[in-house]
Structure 1
Amino acid sequence: MAKLGAPQAEILLDNLDLVSFDTQDQLFISNTFGDIYLFNQGGKQLNLFSPSRQGRLSQLEAAWTVNIFSFSADLQEYRILDRFLNPLAEDGSTLSEVNLAKAATLGNNNVLWVWDESDLSLKSIDYRRNLVIQSQPLNLILNTDHLEVTEIREFKNRLFMNVPDTGIFIFDNQGNLMRKINLKNIPRLCYYREHLFWCDQGKLMAISLSTNEISTLAQLESSESVYIQIGQERLAIVSKDKVRIYPTPTWLKALR
């Protein structure tokens, strides 16, 4: 079984929570208070953003070419920052026509996807105008009155919804349900080369989105690894209060 080898860098951070690579393989990390740290590829801290209202982040995304996106379900607000962690709006923005946002993600064309738990609807919002474009009542589509959604992410014009006790739902860019993947208890979504990745008892696992084949790819250094994030030429294995950074191995790049 493959291994990742020795990490290029290790980052130790108290109360570490969410991790996201940008397009330059810099690493943005939030803690459970909502502070956002910026680290370079070698694990050196470059910057820190600490919001005036502190609250745990539910989402942190840096893979967009221009902006950093964060969302806090606790505070019911989202924030867009530039790559130097300067907020583009001084305070977090609240969401109009949304009563209880439990998950949110940035999409293409100035769209914000929001899971509104109050009416079990998936909503797309033009965040520049703060206007709901469309709303999909998922309780009718999925025939359920209870969905514990922990995360939504857009990858290549598809929206992935993580419901740990049920699976992962995939929607098209209009919010129409395409399919469901029976993967339960996945902490954070990680997409790379038409595969989803996760850590399971010290092993790196993957499922092909084209064939549904599940593979065990590598033995990880720690059995306490919680989740993985993959950038351009780097990957990060996240465990409690520690991030290990590795070069993306050739066998991972070769996945089809």
Structure 2
Amino acid sequence: MKNWSFTVLLLVFVHVVCQGQYKVVRTVEWKDLDQLELDGKGAIYVTKQNGNLAKFTSTGDLLLEYSPTINDQVHQLVVNNQFKVYLFYQDFQRAVILNRYLSDPVQYSFADYGLGFVSDIAPDLQQNIWVLDISEFSLKLFDPRRNLVVETKSMSKVLKQKSNNVQRLINHQNRTYWIDQSAGVFVFDNLGNYLFKLDVLPGFDYGFYKDEIYSLQGDKIVFVNLYTGIERVRNVPEGLSGKIRVHEDRLYLIQPNGFQIYQYLSPEN
């Protein structure tokens, strides 16, 4: 029994360095690009500063465009559900939900449902929406089908309200991750109960892919398994910086006037 426990402990702290390298394979120009996110199949969604939305293939070919009725910057673009696209406008306190063809928009104004000021949202796989209501400093679960808040969780025991600086709120694999620039990454279960704080290095921006959270750390991307804590590292080209997203063997570098697509090359290549 003692030997088995020791083996598990060793696995948790495995650190794998991949010796391959990323190489740029395509540059896509898209003026005034603001945000970029990937769905589970690797399709690329980008917004412009004026709120316009576009969908590309994983290799950078334009598929669809959407011009919203709200001419304002999108605070959050969420595509963790392959059938839905969520746009959250913080200034208007409104969420717009589109289908995967970027059509049939449905709008929800959070003020109509007794919510205070919503700073961030995190739609889950059941098409409910976790919202961070900073007026009450709580996580609330909004059900769009019933137009009802069905769960409220106070955050006062997890974080101090005056010191929090939310960088991102995201639901991934039925857990909600509260990413705070100064305090770290906090994990909540599907009912909004606080579980633990992730042991990850501070990052400028975090992404999620399958069972891992990743961030750019100098000349490397550091991946940490969300369930085992096992860490692996991939090298990136010298001088690469900014927000990135990763899907399989591709890396997407977000730039003000478009994005670059990198391919990961193994040592054999």
Give the alignment's TM-score, normalised by structure 2: 0.81
Question: Comparing both chains, which one has the higher relative contact order based on Cα–Cα distances under 8 Å and sequence gaps of 6 or more?
Answer: 2
2:24 counterpart letter in structure 1: A
- 1:2 maps to a residue whose letter is G
The change in CA–CA distance for 1:218 and 1:240 in structure 2 (over 3 A counts) is farther
C-alpha separation between the residues in 2 aligned to 1:87 and 1:221?
A: 43
Cα distance change of structure 1 residues 121 and 25 upon mapping to structure 2, 3 Å threshold:
same
* 1:254 match: none
CA drift at 1:185: 5.4
Q: Is the 8 A contact 2:205 2:216 kept in 1?
A: no
Deviations 1:209-248 (A, max 9, x none): 3444554421236433x22223466442223433222456
- Seen in structure 2, the aligned counterparts of structure 1 residues 187 and 101 have a Cα distance that, compared at 3 Å, is farther
Shift of 1:150: 2.6
CA shift digits 1:173-224 (9 cap, x unpaired) = 0101111125575344311242211113343222233444554421236433
Does residue 27 of the first structure (1) align with residue 10 of the second (2)? no
How far, CA to CA, are the matches of 1:26 and 1:51 in structure 2? 20
- How many Å separate the matches in 2 of 1:143 and 1:185? 17
Asked if structure 1 preserves the Cα contact closer than 8 Å seen for 2:75 and 2:90, the reply is yes
Aligned residues: 246
Same amino acid, percent of matched pairs: 21
Q: Which runs of 5+ in 2 are unaligned?
A: 1-18
1:85: Cα distance to partner? 1.1
Q: State the match for 1:60 in structure 2.
A: 77
| Secondary structure in structure 2 of the residue aligned to 1:93 | strand
Work out the CA distance in 2 between the residues paired with 1:202 and 1:15: 26
The root-mean-square deviation of aligned C-alpha atoms, in Å, is 2.4
Range with bigger deviation, 100-109 or 143-152 = 143-152
2:40 maps to 1:15: no
Say which is worse superposed, 60-69 or 166-175, in terms of deviation: 60-69
- The alignment's TM-score, normalised by the length of structure 1, stands at 0.85
1:197 counterpart residue number:
214
Q: Contact 2:22–2:262 at 8 Å: present in 1 too?
A: yes
Letter in 1 for 2:93: Q
Instruction: Note the C-alpha offset of 1:120.
Output: 0.5
Structure whose CA Rg is larger: 2
Partner of 2:109 in structure 1? Answer: 94
Give the Cα separation in 1 of the matches to 2:79 and 2:265: 22
Partner amino acid for 2:257? D
- Once the two structures are overlaid, the 10-residue window that deviates more, 242-251 or 128-137, is 242-251
